[in-house]
Chain A
């Protein structure tokens, strides 16, 4: 029963992150289009990374696929882009957690790797589907750099609080 509560909180956190990304993109659209590139809010990726450090692999891979599906269908309109990349991010985090301990710096490092992976996959698919024609160099300069900077700072600032919240929930569940 406690496991169920623990998993429900993780699902709610991921669902809120998906809505938060769309909300930030809509409310601060002009602010996100900066002189040094376009910032893409990726709080869902950051949340998947933090949760993957604490939850079981099977649950996180399944959740990453499910929330990738929601991201694809709700925002994009076609499936496969985020479904595949979120699963890869969860798998990457799970592989890395064997060698690094969860703390603010390791979250930020994996966050940067994960967002790079998601952005590269999204760019590759959009190029293949001819939705965009921008070159790889332009993509790095105009989108990736600003996105990494923004999300890296978000991870650096907020990961500690999310970490505390998750650790408390897991400890509470174990005590009961």
Chain B
């Protein structure tokens, strides 16, 4: 027995093992609320990350600008054709906006589910291991970010802020493996009705988001637009998520499962827009309980 305790390496190994399990347990249970030392390390690393990402983003932008320039002639013809249509739509929009404003005043609504303001940010780095598909952005709580805010890129919803440091933050993308991090209440607007459901996963083979728990058995057509419904308490209503690419039965064969082609290319996220919902937001603990109920 004595020889085991005299073995210095064995004791070091055991103590290290207990230490690593301990910090893993502690930090995983406190995910999203990094202690001060972690926030400092994250911010220092993100400053160095910016030194690399800024010139590379600028260079990428230059290449895509050159690429866009080649398509300008074709695009110009298309846009001219759409210009007449746009004038009619503009007039219609003005009428609808003023009507909407009057109706809101009448109902005395201060902040509806669709109201939000935005904060722009740049992606500094992406988690290389992809177990949790996360990006690091150059905006933090000094810019007004808080956990749970929705994040958009190229006009499509891409994820949610999960950790906020003073000058940087982490955003978990909808493509991550962790189902609980993906839950987003969404709606599909059909001609005669609106279907509600929950986005609860990502199919890597199809490269499509999965929407389940759909409230109706109505036929869903491919190409229909999917937007956020604003019902989960975190994401504002009306953010574009994508379009329906395929409809099938869910794993139990009871409800419909909709595959959504995302509006954003998740493999090319360089700039983001953080959405600050103006309507009352549920706190994180209530939200996790809600999503658990929804998933059941």
Residues from chain A with Cβ under 8 Å of B26 in the complex: 79
Counting contact residues on chain A (CB < 8 A from B), the size range is 35 or more
For residue B135, CB closer than 8 A to chain A, the reply is yes
CB–CB A74/B42 < 8 A: yes
How far is B16's CA from A76's CA once the two chains are assembled, in angstroms? Answer: 21
CB–CB A80/B27 < 8 A: yes
Question: Using an 8 Å CB-CB cutoff, how does the interface string of B26-58 with A read, 1 for contact, 0 for none?
Answer: 111001101000100110011011001100100
Partner of A29, one of B16, B170, B267: B267
For residue A126, CB closer than 8 A to chain B, the reply is yes
CB–CB A80/B24 < 8 A: yes
A-B interface pairs (CB < 8 A), number: 122
How far is B127's CA from A1's CA once the two chains are assembled, in angstroms? Answer: 36
CB–CB A84/B56 < 8 A: no
How far is B269's CA from A170's CA once the two chains are assembled, in angstroms? Answer: 41
CB–CB B128/A78 < 8 A: no
For residue A59, CB closer than 8 A to chain B, the reply is no
Closest to B39 in A: A73
A144 to chain B, nearest CB (A): 12
B137 to chain A, nearest CB (A): 11
Residues from chain A with Cβ under 8 Å of B266 in the complex: 29
CB–CB B268/A131 < 8 A: no
Closest to A126 in B: B131
How far is B163's CA from A69's CA once the two chains are assembled, in angstroms? Answer: 16
CB–CB B126/A40 < 8 A: no
CB–CB B126/A19 < 8 A: no
How far is B123's CA from A122's CA once the two chains are assembled, in angstroms? Answer: 24
For residue A14, CB closer than 8 A to chain B, the reply is no
Question: Using an 8 Å CB-CB cutoff, how does the interface string of A12-30 with B read, 1 for contact, 0 for none?
Answer: 0001001111111111011
CB–CB A23/B56 < 8 A: yes
Give residues 48-78 of B contacting A (CB, 8 Å): 48-49, 52-53, 56, 60
How far is B48's CA from A160's CA once the two chains are assembled, in angstroms? Answer: 26
Give residues 77-93 of B contacting A (CB, 8 Å): none
Residues from chain A with Cβ under 8 Å of B265 in the complex: 30
Closest to A31 in B: B267
Given known A22-B128, A23-B52, A23-B53, contact A77–B134 (CB-CB < 8 A): yes
CB–CB B125/A79 < 8 A: no
For residue A70, CB closer than 8 A to chain B, the reply is yes
Residues from chain A with Cβ under 8 Å of B130 in the complex: 25, 38, 40
CB–CB A29/B23 < 8 A: no
CB–CB A27/B60 < 8 A: yes
Give residues 159-184 of B contacting A (CB, 8 Å): 162-163, 170, 177-178
How far is B128's CA from A23's CA once the two chains are assembled, in angstroms? Answer: 8
For residue A167, CB closer than 8 A to chain B, the reply is no
For residue B272, CB closer than 8 A to chain A, the reply is no
How far is B27's CA from A164's CA once the two chains are assembled, in angstroms? Answer: 39
Question: Using an 8 Å CB-CB cutoff, how does the interface string of B117-147 with A read, 1 for contact, 0 for none?
Answer: 0000001111111111011100000000000
Given known A19-B52, A33-B267, contact A81–B24 (CB-CB < 8 A): yes
For residue B21, CB closer than 8 A to chain A, the reply is yes
Residues from chain B with Cβ under 8 Å of A132 in the complex: 131, 177-178
Residues from chain B with Cβ under 8 Å of A131 in the complex: 131-132, 177-178
Interface hub of A26, A29, A131 (most chain B Cβ within 10 A): A26
Q: Assuming A29-B268, A77-B162, A84-B20, what are 4 further A-B pairs, CB within 8 angstroms?
A: A19-B125, A70-B45, A79-B24, A80-B27
What are 5 sample pairs from A and B whose C-beta atoms fall under 8 A apart?
A: A19-B45, A76-B132, A77-B162, A79-B23, A131-B178
